[in-house]
Amino acid sequence: MENCLIIINQSAGGAERISFDYVKNRLGNRYQYTCHTIPTDGEPNTNGYEAIAVCGGDGTLTNLLAKVYDRQIDVFYFPSGTLNDKAKIKSGAKACNSPAIIGRVSGEYPTVFSYVYAAGSFTPIGYTANVKMKKRFGVLAYLGDVLKEYKVHHISAEIEIDGKTYKDDYTLIMLLKSPRCFGFKFNKAYDEKSESGHIVLIRAPKGKGLFGKIAMFFPFFRVFFIGLKKEREGVITFKRFDSLSVKLAGETTFCRDGERDKQSGDFSVNFVKTKCNLNIMPKTKTALNNTKTAD
């Protein structure tokens, strides 16, 4: 009998709607199960398992993929976070033996992301929203932080894409392998089968005060409410890329699938197929059992 580790992130916005018994019932009796909760039980040891079921938000999934993306195991993702943008990329469960395409960041702080790696305006809301508020109000918990993070950033960066260099101050740098982010389905050029991703750059207005905020409203509205399909350059730059390199003038905080991450200096990004098989488990009409069991 194969071994399966079940991980439930109790800090996820919808953690109360998932249980170990529910996961076991969904996956059946082919496995011998070990149960692990985050943060109560600390960081899970993923070695020695043929399968891992992870229950939480997009950041919970990404933290697991960072550990196992180069291993030939099955990963079952039960989305139980607040936004669950990764799970909404494709409805229904993916078949076994289906690798995912993830972004790999190389540099002083190497990491991976499953759908977005972004810095600048609004991006902190992915990791600043209060856990208790998310559990109580769901996506509405982000609204207060949206107003707080409506401000101009000046991120000095030099970005090389396919031999062409873009150098400016940006209020948004977004690397994306998804049709959606922060609940907005705006990337109309997304291709699930492609091993490429997209970059969205919004040039920073000159000032940070009221006029700067007014100036930044229009490009953000264009990107997230109207959407992007054709490549473009200017105040808004939207490009497909297989790999790119970034030079930052200073340390910058990024949102990695809803988790706080930092980068400084030079780093590069490309996309790879995971060796692990990712299965996104659809929700069922059956009510979830809230009882948390332990092996």
pLDDT digits (tens, 9 = 90+) for 167-197: 999 999 999 999 998 889 999 999 988 999 9
Look at residue 286 in the predicted model and tell me its pLDDT: 47
pLDDT digits (tens, 9 = 90+) for 6-32: 999 998 878 888 999 999 999 999 999
Does residue 136 register a pLDDT over 50?
yes
Considering the domain architecture, whether residues 133 and 259 belong to the same structural domain is answered as yes
Q: How many distinct structural domains can be found in the chain?
A: 2
Does residue 37 register a pLDDT over 90?
yes
Q: Residue 11 belongs to what domain range?
A: 2-102+276-280
Is 162 contained in some domain?
A: yes
Structure confidence at residue 282 as a pLDDT band (50, 70, 90): confident
Does residue 42 register a pLDDT over 50?
yes
Is 265 contained in some domain?
A: yes
Structure confidence at residue 139 as a pLDDT band (50, 70, 90): low
Does residue 91 register a pLDDT over 90?
no
Look at residue 289 in the predicted model and tell me its pLDDT: 42
Look at residue 141 in the predicted model and tell me its pLDDT: 65
CA-to-CA distance for 293 and 86, rounded, in angstroms? Answer: 27
Q: Which residue has the higher pLDDT, 286 or 9?
A: 9
Considering the domain architecture, whether residues 212 and 69 belong to the same structural domain is answered as no
Considering the domain architecture, whether residues 139 and 6 belong to the same structural domain is answered as no
Considering the domain architecture, whether residues 147 and 210 belong to the same structural domain is answered as yes
Question: Looking at 8-12, 198-202, 264-268, 287-291, which range is the least confident one?
Answer: 287-291
Look at residue 233 in the predicted model and tell me its pLDDT: 97
Q: Which residue has the higher pLDDT, 280 or 219?
A: 219
Does residue 63 register a pLDDT over 70?
yes
Considering the domain architecture, whether residues 188 and 247 belong to the same structural domain is answered as yes
Q: 10 Å Cβ neighbour count for 112?
A: 22
Q: What is the CATH number of the domain that holds 69?
A: 3.40.50.10330
Question: Whole-prediction pTM value?
Answer: 0.89
Look at residue 146 in the predicted model and tell me its pLDDT: 83
Q: Answer left, alpha or beta for residue 291, where phi above 0 means left and psi between -120 and 50 means alpha.
A: beta
